[in-house]
Amino acid sequence: MFRWLLALFLILPSLASTEEVVLGLSQDTVSITTSFDGSEILIFGAVKREEPIRHDAPLEVVITVSGPSQPVMVRRKAYRFGIWVNTDAVEVDLAPSFYAVSTTGPFADVLNDIEDLRHKVSIDRAIRSVGAPANIQDSANFTDAVIRIRRAADLYQLREGKVALDEQTLFRTAIDMPADLTEGDYTTRIFLTRAGKVVSVYETVIDVRKVGLERFLFNLSRQQPFLYGLMSLAIAIAAGWGASAAFRLLRNS
């Protein structure tokens, strides 16, 4: 029994990761105001080691930033009787509102398919779609549509080769976050990989919140919808009256 315990204690240190991430962020909070037009987050850090740098397989870095995940209803339109109408609908169970992947090299080279499946790193695997109605035979096309639309809006980003790694120790990348961000916690993950396998994972959170007038209006619309509707109506009437008065003034001048 003693020999088995001794062997176990000898094996456990070798299983522990000898390379870990020491991370920094240019900012860990993003404030959404009425004039917010996007933000750039600089993610940088270093690799802490207990052993000399290995040269048999280079170290690679994969960084992901994921916004709050929510269900998404995707509808397919068809041209029927001279008009476009909704024909089929599939609800994607969970899709991140924002998702960015940055790597030190081509994605397929820095992370193998098994590790991607395990950690759900790629854009396709960050989206969860469990099932679809029985009459839908091509449910994967609905998930592809979500990816295509959000990529076009710069909400989904695959940035291969955009992580700089110096001397196998210092790494950095910049993530462009668009103006139409969803409020919430943005999970940031850093993967250290060798030969496509994950050797260490680090996780932190970027807090994205509305502030100032934006926060006041958001809370008012949720907590006092009737008052918010009256205020919106009053602003619309005042704006219409002001535009009309200005037009009359210009015409008479």
> What percentage of the chain has pLDDT greater than the value 90?
33
pLDDT of 234 > 80? The answer is: no
Is residue 43 within 8 A of residue 175, CB to CB? The reply is: yes
Q: Please report which confidence band the pLDDT of residue 223 belongs to, taking 50, 70 and 90 as the band edges.
A: low
User: pLDDT digit string (tens) for 35-81?
Assistant: 556 778 888 888 888 777 777 788 999 999 999 998 988 887 777 77
pLDDT of residue 91: 78
pLDDT of residue 2: 40
Task: Provide mean pLDDT across the span 215-234.
Answer: 61
pLDDT of residue 208: 81
pLDDT of residue 80: 74
pLDDT of 239 > 90? The answer is: no
H-helix segments, 26-135: 107-110, 113-119, 123-126
Number of Cβ within 10 Å of residue 128's Cβ equals 14
pLDDT of residue 194: 92
Closest CA to 47 of 176, 142, 137, 170: 170
Is residue 46 within 8 A of residue 224, CB to CB? The reply is: no
User: pLDDT digit string (tens) for 137-160?
Assistant: 667 788 888 999 999 999 999 999
pLDDT of residue 98: 94
- pTM value is 0.72
Q: Which long-range contacts (CB under 8 A, 24 or more apart) does 51-55 make?
A: 51/18, 53/167, 53/168, 53/169, 54/194
Closest CA to 216 of 69, 91, 32: 32
pLDDT of residue 8: 36
Q: Please report which confidence band the pLDDT of residue 14 belongs to, taking 50, 70 and 90 as the band edges.
A: very low
pLDDT of 215 > 70? The answer is: no
**What is the token pair recorded at 53?**
């740098």
Is residue 89 within 8 A of residue 174, CB to CB? The reply is: no
Task: Provide mean pLDDT across the span 158-167.
Answer: 94
Helix/strand/coil percentages in the chain, nearest 5: 35, 40, 25
pLDDT of residue 129: 72
Comparing 111 with 231, which gets the higher pLDDT?
111
For the 16-210 domain, the top CATH level (class) is mainly beta
Domain boundaries, the chain: 16-210, 212-253
Closest CA to 165 of 107, 105, 108, 104: 104
Average pLDDT, the chain: 78
pLDDT of 101 > 70? The answer is: yes
pLDDT of 4 > 50? The answer is: no
pLDDT of residue 237: 77
Specify the 3-state DSSP secondary structure of 124.
helix
Comparing 103 with 35, which gets the higher pLDDT?
103
Closest CA to 107 of 95, 98, 97, 119: 119
